[in-house]
Amino acid sequence: MNVIWNSDEDKPKAAPKEFKNEPCPEGTWEFEIVKSVARQSQFDNVKTKDNPDGWEWSLWLDTTVNGTRYRVFDSIAVTHITRINEVLRATGRPELRPGKDHRVDEQSLEGERVRVRVYHTKAGKARAGDYMKAEEAKKAAPSRAKVDHSDIPF
């Protein structure tokens, strides 16, 4: 085989986005769903009697915290309807109904923004906890008005 140098096809790979090589800090952050796909898991713990092929919903969540970009992955087995409904609610989509819905258009969620509570595992990896609508999580508790105590008669 002869090698052809300086070809237009031999371009270096684009530099990866600048992600910190440490887990996302714990807390509740606003994320963008950058990738949402159904795939077969490589792990045996996802394969069950009801899901023998190990299908799961894989979400890639990106956020920026204090100027640093982080990515959190979440994999949800297709048998965990409660968790799937939590994600759907957070994106404003209708929940799945028993006996009625058997399919989710997972790719339509790409680009959606959600708030996610991030926690760390014992091994120190960041994991997605609760999902919330982005605007719901922003609502602050009502502030207390200052009271002028000078005109209280006791």
Q: Is 61 inside a domain boundary?
A: yes
Domain-located, residue 105: yes
Using a cut of 0.75, tell me whether the model's pTM lies above it.
no
Edge-to-edge strand ranges of the sheet holding 68-77? 68-77, 55-65, 27-40, 113-120, 126-133
In a domain, 1, yes or no: no
So what's the pLDDT on residue 141?
42
| pLDDT at 142 (0 to 100) | 44
Number of domains, the chain: 1
C-alpha span between 148 and 11 (Å, rounded): 70
Other residues' Cβ atoms within 10 Å of the Cβ of residue 81: 16
Q: Does any domain span residue 153?
A: no
Indicate whether 124 belongs to any domain.
Answer: yes
- CATH number of the structural domain spanning residue 91: 2.40.50
Containing structural domain, residue 91: 27-136
From first to last of its 154 residues, the chain has per-residue pLDDT tens of 656 666 666 666 555 556 666 889 999 999 999 999 999 988 888 888 988 899 999 999 999 988 889 999 999 998 888 999 999 999 999 888 887 777 888 889 999 999 999 999 999 999 999 999 876 544 444 444 444 555 555 4
Q: Does some domain include residue 144?
A: no
